[in-house]
Amino acid sequence: MTSDAHWAPLSPYSTGLRGRCPRCGQGHLFDGFLKLRPNCEVCGLDYSFADPADGPAFFVICFACVPSVALAVWIEVVFQPPFWVHLLTSLPFMLLTCIPPLRPLKGWLVASQYFYKAEQGKWDQSDPASSPPATRQVQPQPEE
């Protein structure tokens, strides 16, 4: 495996949305629909640094599920159709707006973690200015 210095930085948008390796842009990021591969088959980048957690689901819920449910509620309130109409309109619309964006969003989040070198935050104990602020004790004022 080579160091990152030998690779030109690639945009997280171009690599992540296409499901490509964030370092070389050639290898595949996914092994299945949403499961990340252990490493890149081209450059050998270990994908263990990546943890998008629930990020893709959060974005889909905010930007796809809420409008889909609002459409279904609007159809129900305005037209009061039978249940089968929702099965033919609301359900397919919800599935088409919620499932397909998950993979590109997850790829974009993983590529962004690599591009911006995101990692878990930690305190630098060697510098007193960077340590957490001490809790200030408030002394009660004596009554006069």
Give the per-residue pLDDT at 44: 94
Q: Over the stretch 49-108, which tens digit does the pLDDT of each residue have?
A: 998 989 999 999 999 999 999 999 999 999 999 999 999 999 999 999 999 999 999 999
Contact of 7 with 111, CB cutoff 8 Å: no
Burial of 106 (0-12, 13-18, 19+ CB in 10 A): buried
Return the percentage of the chain with pLDDT > 70, whole number: 88
Coil, helix or strand at residue 39: strand
**What pTM was estimated for this model as a whole?**
0.78
Coil, helix or strand at residue 35: coil
Q: Which two tokens stand for residue 110?
A: 């993983």
